[in-house]
Structure 1
Amino acid sequence: MAKLSKAVHVRDPERNRTVLLLPGEEPAPHLAALVTNPDCWEDGKAPGAQDNATKFEEADAVKGGDSEDTEPAARKTAAKKPARGRTTAAEGTSGQ
Structure 2
Amino acid sequence: MARLATDTFVKDPKTRLMVHLRAGEEPAPEYAALVKNPEAWEGGKLPTSAKTADTTPSSDGDGDGDEKPAAKRAAKRPARGRSAADEGSSGD
Q: TM-score, normalised by structure 2?
A: 0.51
Displacement of 1:16 in angstroms is 1.4
Residue type matched to 1:24 in 2? G
Superposed, 1:39-50 pairs within 5 Å as: 39-48=39-48
Runs of 4+ in 1 over 2 A off after TM superposition: 48-52
Displacement of 1:46 in angstroms is 1.0
Q: Secondary structure at the match of 2:14?
A: coil
Residue type matched to 2:29 in 1? P
Instruction: Provide the residue aligned with 1:33 in structure 2.
Output: 33
Please say which structure displays the higher CA radius of gyration: 1
Superposed, 1:13-32 pairs within 5 Å as: 13-32=13-32
Gap regions ≥5 residues in structure 1: 53-96
Q: Secondary structure at the match of 2:24?
A: coil
Deviation readout 1:28-49 (Å, 9 max, x if unpaired):
0010000010000002111236
How many positions carry a matched residue from both structures?
52
User: What is the identity percentage for the equivalent residue pairs of Structure 1 and Structure 2?
Assistant: 50
Q: Secondary structure at the match of 1:31?
A: helix
Superposed, 1:44-59 pairs within 5 Å as: 44-48=44-48, 51=52
RMSD over equivalenced CA pairs, Å: 1.7
Gap regions ≥5 residues in structure 2: 54-92
